[in-house]
Amino acid sequence: MSALPRSYFSAIEKISRLLTRGEEFRTTMYSILVHLARLTGMKRGMISLYRRDLEEIHVDITYGIPERSSPIYYRLGEGITGKVVASGRPIAIPRLDREPLFLDRSGARREIDRATLAFICVPVKYAGETVGALSVDRAAKGDNLKTEVAFLEIVANMLAPRVHARRIQEENVRLREAIDRHSPLGTIVGNAKSMRQVAAQINQVADSPTTVLITGETGTGKGLVAEEIHYRSQRRDEPLVRLNCGAIPENLVESELFGHQKGAFTGAVEQRIGKFEQAGKGTIFLDEIGELPLASQVKLLRVLEDREFERLGGGRTLKTNARVIAATNRDLEREVAAGRFRSDLYYRLSVFPLYLPPLRERGADIILLADYFVQQMGRKVGKQISRIDSSALDLLISYHWPGNVRELQNCLERAVLLATDGIIYGHLLPPSLQAGTGGNSLVEGHGNFQQMVQAYETTLIVEALKKAKGNQTRAAELLGTTKRIIQYKISRYGIDYRKYAGVRIS
């Protein structure tokens, strides 16, 4: 190896000064490439970052390469850059025309006679790990490039801490974005264990074509969950089409689902496409599926099984790729037993059942949701609501919420409209809530606190009992307390532990 030419020392000196200036990463790196070219006769330069979380190499900074609208990537092991990062060893090519591995993905050398070019790529290593690559090309001189490789390795070592820092910073941004995207429940508010389970199920099923059957009492959020599944799937840019099977007359359901030809029945004055066709490759949400007439159930089953249907009044057989999500607040198993719902359709729909628990079983979620609706409504009507008073919290917690989240939402929206001093008081809530707790007999202070504690304890104990299948000793263990305390609370709060003896929790 020959000695380093003087100009290379100047380059090193310049680079070391650029690195200590504390300028932004891209500015610094670009200046370094410019000075490398000026002082050492290199023509083009690239600094690439290895994104280990994505397993791709991203060309981050370029010099002498035309601006491109799309970024340049290599997979690990792909092309020269990919090989250098994968192996952690430099590659020098004295004449580019003799190198089949050279991809020229940047397109910069398309117009150039490659026989006149030499190319060098060295790894950028930090703490023993390859974090990126530095590559340059220059005129081919028929030499072995050993001096240049040694020189560029020195430069790469100088850049390494900054490249490493940049990579970590980028990784963090991606991580944060991923967390935002996959926040456990998205628009669905909830922190109860049962709701976190729902979130996990949504995440698990969203991206597959699987049919989902959402069950739960009225107002528990079935519609919301259906939307969430659609928007978390690859189909999010395709239509989400709904049909409320209970809201249309029986004789029109099939025409809504599958469309009809002109003259198919009295009143069919022109051809019409149905919801399945509208949904295309998107999602069709069949709400209140329990209301679907038996005769139409057969046709729906066929679509689920063969992905085929016809418009009413004939015509060719149409194919569908739509994903089906169905919802019901009926107990479909009971409907099947009563002969009102076809068992084959039930089994076909319930491949992935998703149960939404009633609000009264979600413990502290009531308060979480109340806060959420108050803030949401406050923004909508331009009212600043600072808090929900304890008198209101008491009522919210002790009420049994037959209308679930929808009822809670209505109550609080009304209260926000009535509020005059930015505080939600108990008396702003509807009378139905007051009745449940004996109206205004609650005393301030301890009484309220105690009741909240009691509600929370009840939830904890019930959850533990479910897990322990009604076994009090086991429930006490799960809660980290003694059997004596559990027994005391169970009798004091009137919890029926025998009810949980057969409960299965999935």
Ligand X SMILES: Nc1ncnc2c1ncn2[C@@H]1O[C@H](COP(=O)(O)OP(=O)(O)OP(=O)(O)O)[C@@H](O)[C@H]1O
CA 174, CA 232: separation in Å to the nearest integer? 18
In the list 216, 358, 363, 426, the residue contacting ligand X (rule: CB under 6 A) is 216
Stretch that binds ligand X, among 108-116, 184-192, 260-268, 430-438 (CB under 6 A): 184-192
Residue 290 in the binding site for ligand X (CB under 6 A): no
Which residues between 217 and 236 bind Mg ion (CB under 5 A)? 223
| Cβ atoms 322, 279 nearer than 8 A | yes
| CA-based R_g, the chain, Å | 33
Judged by beta carbon, residue 155 or residue 189, the one nearer ligand X is 189
**Number of Cβ atoms within 10 Å of the Cβ of 86:** 17
Q: Does 360 bind ligand X (CB under 6 A)?
A: no
- The site string for ligand X over 369-388 (x = CB under 6 A, - otherwise) reads x-------------------
Which is nearest to 396 in space by CA: 343, 421, 422, 360? Answer: 360
Which CB atom, from 412 or from 468, has the smaller least distance to ligand X?
412
395-434 residues near ligand X, rule: CB under 6 A: 405-406, 409
> Shortest approach of ligand X to residue 505 CB, angstroms?
20
Both tokens of 27, joined, read 């500015």
Nearest distance in Å: CB 287, Mg ion: 5
259 interacts with ligand X by CB under 6 A:
no
Q: Find the binder of ligand X among 190, 259, 274, 282 (CB under 6 A).
A: 190
Is the C-alpha dihedral spanning 57, 58, 62, 66 positive or negative? Answer: positive
Q: Which residues contact 236 (CB under 8 A, 6 or more apart)?
A: 230
Shortest Cβ 362–ligand X spacing (Å): 9
> How far, CA to CA in Å, does 202 sit from each of 182, 184, 192?
11, 9, 15
Told to check if 5 binds Mg ion by CB under 5 A, we report no
With CB under 6 A as the contact rule, which of the stretches 59-67, 75-83, 94-102, 214-222 interacts with ligand X? 214-222
| Residue 222 touching ligand X (CB under 6 A) | yes
Instruction: Kindly tell me the burial class for residue 83, based on how many C-beta atoms sit within 10 Å of its own C-beta (0-12, 13-18, 19 or more).
Output: middle
Return the one option of ligand X, Mg ion, none that residue 405 interacts with (CB less than 5 to 8 A, by type): ligand X
- Applying CB under 6 A, which of residues 201, 220, 297, 391 lies at the interface with ligand X? 220
Q: How far is the CB of 181 from ligand X (least distance, A)?
A: 18
Amino acid identity at 441: S
> Is 224 near ligand X (CB under 6 A)?
yes
Q: Which alpha helices (DSSP H) does 119-192 contain, by range?
A: 146-181
User: Nearer to Mg ion by C-beta: 167 or 323?
Assistant: 323
Element (H, E) at 485: helix 483-492
189 binds ligand X (CB under 6 A): yes
In contact, 71 and 92? CB cutoff 8 Å:
no
Q: Is 363 in the site for ligand X (CB under 6 A)?
A: no
What does the alpha-carbon distance between residue 413 and residue 274 come to, in Å, rounded to a whole number? 36
Residue with smaller CB distance to ligand X, 344 or 413: 413
329 in contact with ligand X (CB under 6 A) = yes
Cα separations (Å) of 402 from 208, 218, 225, 307, 355?
A: 33, 8, 19, 38, 16
Cβ-proximal residue to Mg ion, closest one: 223
Nearer to ligand X, 369 or 395 (CB): 369
- Tell the burial category of 336 from Cβ atoms under 10 Å away from its Cβ (0-12, 13-18, 19+): middle
Name the residue nearer to ligand X (CB basis): 195 or 300: 195
Closest by CA to 456, choosing from 363, 358, 361, 360, is 363
In the complex with Mg ion, the residue whose CB is nearer, 276 or 285, is 285
Tell me the one-letter amino acid at 208.
Answer: S
* Positions in the binding site for Mg ion (CB under 5 A): 223
* Positions in the binding site for ligand X (CB under 6 A): 188-190, 216, 218-224, 329, 369, 405-406, 409
